[in-house]
Amino acid sequence: MTDTLIDRRDLAFQLYEVLDTENLTTRERFSEHSRDTFDAVIETADKMAREKFATHNSAADKDEPKFVNGQVEMLPQVKEAVEAYAQAGFIAGRYDYELGGMQLPESVMAACNGFFTAANPGTAGYPFLTTAAANLIRVFGNEQQKTTFLPNMLCGRFSGTMALTEPHAGSSLADIRTSASPADNGHYLIKGAKIYISGGEQSITDNIVHMVLARIKGAPAGVKGISLFIVPKFLVDQEGNPTERNGVSLAGLIHKLGYRGTTSTALSFGDDAPCQGYLVGEPHQGLKYMFQMMNEARVGVGFGAAVIGYRGYMHSLEYAKDRLQGRKASEKNPESSQVPIIDHADVRRMLLAQKAYSEGGLALCLYGARLMDDQHTHPDEQKREEAGKLLDLLTPVIKAWPSDYGPKANDLAIQVYGGAGYTREYPVEQCWRDNRLNPIHEGTNGIQALDLLGRKIWQDQSHGLQLLMQEMQVDLEAATTDRCQQWALSLSETLQQAVKVTQSLGKSLVGGEVDKTLANASCYLHLFGHIIVAWMWLRQANTAAHALGSANSDNERNFYQGKLQAAQYFFHWELPTVAQDLVLLRNQDDTCLNMKSEWF
């Protein structure tokens, strides 16, 4: 078992050599930062993740939270880890100095959080949810709500949840039924049931702040009648101290396949006792507010999937270097020594694929984080707007691609370990189980595909798509070595075909063939995702090819050669798989659309 969560050399390459994150320090918001301060925070995250989170990752999986006498029993190390995270200032890492924050760029915070998820996704879930809930209050809450809840959340005394899903509606938020009735003092009384609420109950913090979607009585049907409420587990006094219990209660814990450290709960509101909720912002705007936070949440899911993929890759790489077994096919002498399994070409294939998926996924997510930084802090207003549009367009890909390919990487990690990988004595099976959540939550990947092909591509007269192609053009032209130019050519040809098919799908949509056009949206998402990740690999390859000439040690040369070989893997083994998507999309293949329920 390796200690490495994310290869620091790779992270430095991606942040500083590919993305020029240091350049952010020229912006006013980050002017007190330097590469040194960024690296110090990253070092703190890496160390804390290894020492406080990784240490109980397996234990928290094996000994998952239990519902005993109305309380949730959990390993004490979870509370310690979450408190350490909050005390180090990570929950408020992005915030203004005056709010007690560190004014860190999203790029650096995302990298830091990567270590925690790689180390222990179950425990990391709690502070991440708190961060998300606090962001909602910070942006949309009124002054009183901010004063009452934010300080307690930022220091880790209160945690947060996102309470959207209901049992009968699942992904269909338009159908939620939880109701809110106006009561005295401008409060609302909340009544209903929620399910799959992560962190909905725990024994870590003094209070839990649920961000709840509900309908005010008489609200319009569908997504336009949903409001957002703060529903604390304990009511609080003026100073924000917890007082009496609010009427939200744990109906049961859900037992998951993985991510077991994070409780998943069924919650009931207003069942046994009145449940107070405080409206956030305007009535009926709840889903709009949620969706403004959704990009972050979805990028977060993609990031998590990429780094769990990465973690399995690190484990299986170490194992493959250590484990002796068999000989090359050409070696006929049975008395020759067994070789490390990394010497078998098929094992190298499985490691290269993992490298291509996890480093490619990491590059994609860090690019997404950089877009967030540009959207919020780029000195040029037009660039800020453009970054926002690019991020909007890419969000379904950043959510779905790593959550499709991170689990594939973990599957290969198990296979590299062979029989050992199938046992709970080795760490990779947990990575695989944990990662399986990511294609499901924050909008299944099927929903991401509909979001991309049904909405994002066409938004603003496809301005996002045009911007994207301009950005790609820069890197296509920056390819200078033979290898990079060859890859740039493949990418550019694939891109042209994708554009053509996009135009034909657009015509079909305009012609009113909505169901038929969207029937194969998942192929479109795969096509689009592979093109984007191929671009990420071209960017890395361009940088590596350039740096290779002036690299001054074997280690450095090996690092860059590895990047180039993984890029080659992606261009030879992965990008061509989209040929099939192109055919199905071009033909608007109707096999699935026309399958009848009664034929199954």
Using CB under 8 A, pick the residue from 58, 285, 508, 565 that binds a second copy.
Answer: 565
Pick between residue 306 and residue 317 the one whose CB is nearest to a second copy: 317
- Which SS3 state, helix, strand or coil, does residue 228 take? strand
Q: What is the CA radius of gyration of the chain?
A: 24
User: Does residue 186 touch a second copy according to CB under 8 A?
Assistant: no
Q: Work out how close the CB of 418 gets to a second copy at its nearest, in angstroms, rounded to a whole number.
A: 6
Cα–Cα distance measured from residue 74 to residue 202, given in angstroms and rounded to the nearest whole number: 7
Residue 233 identity = K
445 contacts a second copy (rule: CB under 8 A)? yes
Candidate residues 285, 444, 481, 490; the one interacting with a second copy per rule CB under 8 A:
444
Rounded CA separation 309/411 (Å):
9
Report if residue 573 touches a second copy, rule: CB under 8 A: yes
Q: In whole angstroms, how far apart are CA 154 and each of 22, 84, 405, 590? A: 27, 12, 33, 51
Select the span of 140-148, 179-187, 242-250, 445-453 touching a second copy (CB under 8 A): 445-453
- Name which position in 177, 380, 576, 586 contacts a second copy (CB under 8 A): 576
Residue 397: both structure tokens together: 């890909």
Q: Which of residues 341-380 bind a second copy (CB under 8 A)?
A: 342-349, 351-352, 355
429 is an interface residue for a second copy by CB under 8 A: yes
Tokens 């290779």 identify what position? Answer: 548
> Mapping DSSP to helix (H, G, I), strand (E, B) and coil, where does residue 163 land?
strand
The nearest distance, CB 464 to a second copy, in angstroms, is 20
Q: How far is CA 455 from the centre of its chain?
A: 21
For residue 358, what are its two tokens?
A: 């996890």
CA angle at residue 564 from 11 to 22, to 5 degrees? 30
- Rounded distance, CA 437 to CA 255, Å? 13
CB 179 within 8 A of CB 214: yes
Question: 3-state class of 436 per DSSP?
Answer: coil
Restricting to residues 256-295, name those near a second copy by CB under 8 A: 256-258, 264
Short-list 439, 446, 584, 464, CA closest to 517: 584
Please tell me the distance from the alpha carbon of residue 572 to that of residue 404, in angstroms, as a whole number.
Answer: 19
Going by the DSSP 8-state scheme, the letter that residue 204 receives in this structure is S
Query: Footprint of a second copy on residues 133-172 (CB under 8 A)?
Result: 165, 168-172
C-alpha triplet 466, 468, 474: angle, nearest 5°? 110
37 binds a second copy (CB under 8 A): no
# residues near a second copy by CB under 8 A: 103
| Measured CA distances, 559 to 548, 554, 582 (Å) | 9, 8, 34
Which residues between 294 and 323 bind a second copy (CB under 8 A)?
A: 317, 321, 323
Per CB under 8 A, contacts with a second copy among 391-420 are 411, 414-415, 418-419
By beta-carbon proximity to a second copy, the closer residue of 223 and 294 is 223
Let me know: does 309 contact 301? Beta carbons within 8 Å.
no
In DSSP terms, 102 is beta-bridged to none
Task: Clarify whether 22 is annotated catalytic.
Answer: no
> Is 222 an interacting residue with respect to a second copy (CB under 8 A)?
yes
Q: Please classify residue 343 by burial: count the beta carbons closer than 10 Å to its beta carbon, then call 0-12 exposed, 13-18 middle and 19+ buried.
A: middle
- Ranges within 76-135 binding a second copy (CB under 8 A): none
Q: Which stretch binds a second copy (CB under 8 A): 65-73, 390-398, 496-504, 577-585?
A: 577-585
| Nearest to a second copy of 106, 166 (CB atom) | 166
The answer to whether 193 contacts a second copy (rule: CB under 8 A) is no
**Is residue 365 within 8 Å of residue 302, measured between CB atoms?**
yes
β partners of residue 215: 179
- Token readout for 225 is 């009648």
**Is residue 584 a contact residue for a second copy (CB under 8 A)?**
yes
The residue among 92 and 195 lying less far from a second copy, judged by its C-beta, is: 195
CB of 76 or CB of 170, closer to a second copy = 170
Contacts with a second copy in 495-514 (CB under 8 A)?
A: 514
Q: Which of 324, 474, 489, 499 binds a second copy (CB under 8 A)?
A: 324
553 binds a second copy (CB under 8 A): no
Q: How far is the CB of 231 from a second copy (least distance, A)?
A: 21
Q: Is residue 547 a contact residue for a second copy (CB under 8 A)?
A: no
Q: State the minimum distance, in angstroms, from the CB of residue 355 to a second copy.
A: 7
Q: Toward a second copy, which CB reaches closer, 47 or 572?
A: 572
Of the residues 442, 477, 493, 556, only one is catalytic, namely: 442
> Which residue of 100, 101, 283, 340 would you call a contact of a second copy, by CB under 8 A?
340
Q: How far is the CB of 319 from a second copy (least distance, A)?
A: 12
Check residue 423 for interaction with a second copy (CB under 8 A). Answer: yes
- Least separation in angstroms between residue 269's CB and a second copy is 19
Q: Distance (Å, rounded) from C-alpha 418 to C-alpha 414?
A: 6
Which residues have a catalytic role annotated?
442
